Amino acid sequence: MHRSLALLACCAGPFLPLAPAAAQDSALVPRPEPRATLTLAEAIRQGRLHSPAYQQTLNNANPARWGVRNAYGNFLPTIQAASGIGYTGSGESQFGAFFQRTSSFVSSSYQLGLQWQLDGRVLAGPSQQRALERATTQDIESAGVALVADITTQYLDVLAAVAQTEVAREQVRRNDEFLRLAQTRYRVGQATLLDVRQAQVTRGTSQVALLRAYQAENEAKLELFRRMGVEPPVPVQEVALTDSFPVTPPAYELDSLLALAARQNPALRALQEREAAARANVRAVRSDFFPRLTAQAGWAGFTQQYTSTDQLVAGELASAQAAAANCQFNNQVRSALNLGGETPDCFGAAGLNPTGTALSDATLQRIRSQNDVFPFDFRSQPFQASLTISLPIFTGFGRSLRLAQAREQQQDADESLRAQALQVRTSVQARYLALRTAYQAIGVQAESREAAREQLRLAQDRYRVGIGSALEVVDAQAAVQRAEGDYVTAVYDYHRALAALEAAVGRPLR
């Protein structure tokens, strides 16, 4: 993912022009040849792909979409299916006051149920979930705006740190020149050893400042990659930032900025959608006072198969023998009374063999066939269906409590929306004023920098011809370093203020 950075490219120069450094300066803080470059657009793209905080916000999109699907799915019936198998061992079962020996058997069953319900909560669900989905979308966009502002600000901090490093490097170069001049004047007797020592101390102080500025620059780069959510592709000393940010007079109008923020600020729009969702929730809760329509339908079936047919055969044999005996008795009565119509084969009619001592083969086959039903030869149960209209009359004021809570949530959402609108207006106005102030500060600091440079030139000329002191030069050099550093700070404060204004409005302005 890091190879998207342009490797082995040249680095564009920082805001301040680079000055040639002395040999001691280059050895103290060498600036290696850049092996990777990074633009602001690429930094933002990497941040959108890898920033942990932004990815956490993106993860909310999928549940929000399923919330809308679920709301529409509530208009459809719910279907439930169940199936099971069982085993019951042999033993004695009690039937009232009697006990009966039963054989072990296996069983299976299925159930298929359908239920459909319609009430006010179902009707209000889609509008509420769509509002919440739009709020989530605006939350993601707000997180994107915050990510862009965060990475842009840190990108500017890196450029500012690079510029401050060059300011410190230029100061070291000046102090090197001042030390050489003091040493030359000392050798010809036009300066004292105190001047040389003063120049050495001043050069050492500037070298320490350069080391610290370079460390701050590298730490700023590390922080930039952390906010992007990636590791640097190469050592940060070899990463160069290539974008430049020209200073242009701010041509924005406060009223248009406020109107744009009111329409498009994603944080404000997210609260507007949540307020709409709260209104839909009030309608849903109020529907608890109205009837609810419920429809149900169900299908079921079962099987029961004995593991042994001996008990079934014994029971069938006893019944068949009783039927055969009854048949023979009827034949005797009809024969005695000359009624006719006797049954010729009572044993065969009852399902017994010719001797009447056992069941016939056909009867045994029928018993086994009727018992062989496990697990899928289900015996269907009667179809069941119902349609119900229900209206709770009294629920212990539960409905009134829920309605009061929903109205309170709506009122809280209204106040949150109003507070956010005030916050957005205040932030836009404050960032607008800060931008104007930062632009004016650049002009003031530019004049101060030119004055400090002129002061240093005069102090150096005075010292070179012997009418000025080393202390004057040291003070002038310190003044130049402060002025150049303040100018760099003013320039990047302007760009930071513009990035903050864009974040407050919620939309890019450049």
Three-state secondary structure of 82-128: EEEEEEECCEEEEECCEEEEECCEEEEEEEEEEEEEECHHHHHHHHH
Q: Half-sphere exposure of residue 312, counting CA atoms within 13 Å on the CB side?
A: 18
**Is the confidence at residue 21, as pLDDT, over 80?**
no
Q: How confident is the model at residue 3 (pLDDT cuts 50, 70, 90)?
A: very low
Predicted local distance difference test score (pLDDT) of residue 317: 87
Q: Among residues of the chain, what percentage have pLDDT more than 90?
A: 69
235 shares its domain with 272: yes
What does the pLDDT average to over 313-320?
87
Start-to-end CA span in the chain (Å): 28
Predicted local distance difference test score (pLDDT) of residue 98: 57
Residue 346 placed within a domain:
yes
**Is the confidence at residue 18, as pLDDT, over 50?**
no
Predicted local distance difference test score (pLDDT) of residue 90: 79
What does the pLDDT average to over 131-155?
96
Predicted local distance difference test score (pLDDT) of residue 8: 26
Angle of helix 266-286 relative to helix 254-264, nearest 10 degrees, comes to 40
Instruction: Please indicate, yes or no, whether the overall pTM of this predicted structure exceeds 0.85.
Output: no
Q: How confident is the model at residue 307 (pLDDT cuts 50, 70, 90)?
A: confident
198 shares its domain with 268: yes
Which residue is listed with tokens 């809570």? 405
What does the pLDDT average to over 383-392?
91
437 shares its domain with 467: yes
**What does the H/E/C string look like for 328-393?**
HHHHHHHHHCCCCCCCCCHHHHHCECCCCCCECHHHHHHHHHHHCCCCCCCEECCCEEEEEEECCC
Residue 106 placed within a domain:
no
243 shares its domain with 275: yes
Q: What is the pLDDT of residues 336-381, one digit of tens each?
A: 888 777 878 888 888 888 888 888 889 889 888 888 888 888 889 8
Residue 107 placed within a domain:
no
50 shares its domain with 187: yes
286 shares its domain with 312: no
Contacts of 362 (CB under 8 A, 6+ apart): 351
> Per the structure, how many domains does the chain have?
2
437 shares its domain with 479: yes
285 shares its domain with 319: no
C-alpha 385: how far from its chain's center? 44
Which residue is listed with tokens 């679920």? 70
Distances (CA, A) of 470 to 173, 475, 481: 16, 9, 17
Predicted local distance difference test score (pLDDT) of residue 96: 57
Q: What is the pLDDT of residues 175-207, one digit of tens each?
A: 999 999 999 999 998 888 999 999 999 999 999
Q: How far is residue 222's CA from residue 231's CA, in Å, rounded to a whole number?
A: 8
Residue 170 placed within a domain:
yes
Predicted local distance difference test score (pLDDT) of residue 12: 32
**Is the confidence at residue 225, as pLDDT, over 90?**
yes
Residue that finishes a domain, picked among 319, 352, 378: 378
Predicted local distance difference test score (pLDDT) of residue 275: 96
374 shares its domain with 232: no
Q: How confident is the model at residue 5 (pLDDT cuts 50, 70, 90)?
A: very low
423 shares its domain with 342: no
> Residue 299 is inside which H or E element, if any?
strand 292-306
Burial grade of 199 (CB within 10 A; 0-12, 13-18, 19 or more)? buried
Domain of residue 134, residue span: 2-69+122-291+396-505
145 shares its domain with 263: yes
